[in-house]
Amino acid sequence: MKIKKAHYAIVCLLLVISSCKNQETTVAKAPLDQLEASYTARLDSCIVFLDVLKQLNTQEQYIANYLQARKQFKFVEPVLAFTDKENYKTLNGPNILRVDEEDATDIKIKKPFGFQAIEELIFDDSLDVTTLKHVALKTQNRLKLIKANTALRLKEYHVLWLIRDQIARIALTGITGFDSPVLEQSLEEAALTYQAIENIFKMYQPQFQSNILYNEVLGEIEVSKHTLRNGDFKSFNRYDFIKEQTHKQLALLNKVKADWQVEFPLELAFNNNMTSLFSVDTFNMDFFSDYIETDSLIAPKAALGKQLFNDVRLSSNNDMSCATCHNSDKAFTDGLKLFPKQMRNTPTLTYAAYQQSYFYDGRTGNLEGQIVDVIHNNNEFHTNLSDFETVVTKDSLYVNTFKKLYKKGVTQDNVRNAIAVYVRSLGDFSSKFDKNINGLENTLTEREINGFNLFMGKAKCATCHFAPVFNGTVPPNFSESEFELLGVPKDTISNTLDTDLGRYDLFKTEERKFFFKTPTVRNIAKTGPYMHNGVYTTLNQVMTFYNEGGGAGLGMDLEYQTLPEDHLNLTESEVEDLILFMEALTDTPPAKVMVP
């Protein structure tokens, strides 16, 4: 009976694929109708492959069927990831427990399902068939739900946005192994999503006024498909791919926008005219703030914020400013393992803007909120918002400047905003690496380039420290900053887990004990000591910790460790190259106020 079911399912699948191909090649329908028909047909194919998988019996069959289902999923990725972000995240997320903490009364703990969960189950040494088929069923049911609710209402600018996001996704997570942790099929899958982009452009060919531009776009996509299909995961030159192909395609999208005569109604995380992933012009800064800033006022507000940042009068004893712990000469850290009376290492403020959570435990959601915590902390400013504001109102120079820049003059909110605007300016993408990948210099050494390729590939650093900011804020949506359990020891002698409970202290969620937000590695040459407790004084120590599998590699038994336990098997030379690359992320000159 099972064999008959399987045969029937395969026949159905062939019909679905045939239908999918017919719908993709039709020219009679409007572009959006073609796109929706192709999208739903691919979802159908994926659903049927998962249905067949549940009826199979051997690991070899599971693998073959999974790969086919995954292929169909990758074809829908550009549209699904844009139109249904939460379901995409669920279906393509890591095989780790998901904890959603809205507040202390709304905490959801969800077991993972989706493609990464299936992939890891199939390749587990002790294959659990019952769990595998249960996860496949949940994944299939979610896809059915998505298909049943599909009604694409996309304007031309939506289509360009989703294509841009997919090009960025390929470069920043697709080629890193982020969503193919076991098979490392990342390059082949990236080629599939480029094929999906090509299919979309072909559907929208009538939008092109320039046939030359249309052919140029398809030609560039073909180059990327060829490069990816002929690449090896561990040796792939990701630096060259991003510099020579990704950035060129982003520039071409601007030409397509002009050719289609598209006007974007707003900006998402990326600037609509971005041409590089590593530039001050890459991001829409308003996306990362609760305040919409007037461009002409950003520079003077930042200058005002810098004055406040360095003003010791804002603390109760007139003995501490923000700069006391965040020294500009040390990339806005203090160079100490722990600042006196503090339990955590001082993080850099460079590139702090590009986050959705602040402090190592993520207890505030914006920079203005972070400042409130510093004001109230007995071991920091040890004051209150009212006194904080009063100090500023007693300074006539401050009062006059605030009147010029803010309608309401000096208020608690405005004082905090001025400091936050300054902090948001502390990241100018001026490092040696940035200048080289943007074609402004040709000074990166082969070892530094190899270090970047290792960071983005074999060493798996970029699966947590996401480019281009190299922190835990997930591209291309940048709507979430991730937390990880690494198993950081309390010292370098005992290999005993540090007692700081991290995120747990916020909501007392058991499954979040010892979790900490992933910081940026930009300017890391200046920000030691390292880790949330400053346990490591050198980058070599940090790399040894990761190379050996984090806390698990040190012998700790951590049920929820998110860092893979497997050794990375990096050679001494590879570790040196990784460190050379990270040192090339040092801003030159030091982070400063950006002038629009």
Q: Mind listing the pLDDT tens digit for each residue in 271-282?
A: 999 999 999 999
Mark whether 136 and 209 lie in a shared domain: no
257 lies in some domain: yes
Mark whether 127 and 181 lie in a shared domain: no
Residue with tokens 């159905």: 12
Q: What is the mean pLDDT of residues 136-141?
A: 97
Mark whether 507 and 477 lie in a shared domain: yes
Statement: residue 3 has pLDDT above 90: no
Mark whether 181 and 238 lie in a shared domain: yes
Distances (CA, A) of 422 to 6, 70, 310, 397: 62, 45, 11, 18
Per the structure, the complete domain to which residue 216 belongs is given by 155-265
Alpha-carbon gap, residue 313 to 319, rounded angstroms: 7
- 495 burial level (CB within 10 Å; 0-12, 13-18, 19+): middle
Computed on alpha carbons and rounded to an integer, the radius of gyration of the chain in Å comes to 25
Alpha-carbon gap, residue 85 to 474, rounded angstroms: 12
Q: Could you tell me where the DSSP H helices lie in 173-234? A: 186-203, 211-229
Task: Please report the pLDDT score of residue 2 as a whole number.
Answer: 34
317 lies in some domain: no
Task: For residue 560, give the amino acid letter.
Answer: Y
Chosen domain end from 265, 295, 313: 265
Residue 481 is given by DSSP the state B
45 lies in some domain: yes
Comparing 221-225, 228-232, 290-294, the range with the smallest average pLDDT is 290-294
Chosen domain end from 102, 127, 154: 154
Mark whether 131 and 177 lie in a shared domain: no
Statement: residue 229 has pLDDT above 70: yes
- pLDDT tens-digit profile of 79-129? 999 999 999 999 999 999 999 988 888 899 999 999 999 999 999 888 899
398 lies in some domain: no
Alpha-carbon gap, residue 557 to 537, rounded angstroms: 25
Statement: residue 236 has pLDDT above 80: yes
SS3 assignment, position 432: helix
Between strands 98-103 and 483-484, the pairing is unpaired
386 lies in some domain: no
- pLDDT tens-digit profile of 44-75? 999 999 999 989 989 999 999 999 999 999 99
Contact 430, 588 (CB under 8 A): yes
Task: Please report the pLDDT score of residue 160 as a whole number.
Answer: 99
Question: How many independent structural domains does the chain possess?
Answer: 3
Alpha-carbon gap, residue 583 to 331, rounded angstroms: 13
Task: Please report the pLDDT score of residue 559 as a whole number.
Answer: 94
Statement: residue 303 has pLDDT above 90: yes
Mark whether 202 and 251 lie in a shared domain: yes
The 3-class secondary structure across 84-99, one letter per residue, is: CHHHHHHHHCCCCCEE
- pLDDT tens-digit profile of 544-586? 999 999 999 999 999 999 999 999 999 999 999 999 999 999 9
Residue with tokens 């739903």: 40
Alpha-carbon gap, residue 284 to 281, rounded angstroms: 8
Mark whether 105 and 207 lie in a shared domain: no
Task: Please report the pLDDT score of residue 296 as a whole number.
Answer: 85
Statement: residue 387 has pLDDT above 50: yes
Task: Please report the pLDDT score of residue 28 as a whole number.
Answer: 61
Residue with tokens 């006022």: 297
Statement: residue 149 has pLDDT above 80: yes
Mark whether 6 and 147 lie in a shared domain: yes
Q: Dihedral sign for Cα 297, 298, 300, 301, please.
A: positive
Mark whether 172 and 139 lie in a shared domain: no
Whether a cis peptide bond, with omega within 30° of 0, leads into 78 is no
Task: Please report the pLDDT score of residue 106 as a whole number.
Answer: 86
Comparing 183-192, 195-204, 284-293, 524-533, the range with the smallest average pLDDT is 284-293
- pLDDT tens-digit profile of 441-487? 999 999 999 999 999 999 999 999 999 999 999 999 999 999 999 99
Q: What is the DSSP string of 351-419?
A: TTTS-SSBTTTT-BSSHHHHHHHHHH-TTTT---HHHHHHHHHT-HHHHHHHHHH-TT-S-HHHHHHHH
Residue with tokens 């979309």: 200
Task: Please report the pLDDT score of residue 293 as a whole number.
Answer: 82
- pLDDT tens-digit profile of 509-519? 999 999 999 99
Most confident of 3-17, 100-114, 156-170: 156-170
Mark whether 436 and 515 lie in a shared domain: yes
Statement: residue 375 has pLDDT above 90: yes
Mark whether 25 and 123 lie in a shared domain: yes
**CATH at residue 575:** 1.10.760.10
414 lies in some domain: no
Mark whether 436 and 576 lie in a shared domain: yes
217 lies in some domain: yes
Q: How far apart are the first and last CA of the chain?
A: 69
Chosen domain end from 121, 154, 187: 154
SS3 assignment, position 217: helix
Statement: residue 494 has pLDDT above 90: no
303 lies in some domain: no
SS3 assignment, position 466: strand
Question: 133: which 2 tokens?
Answer: 């088929």
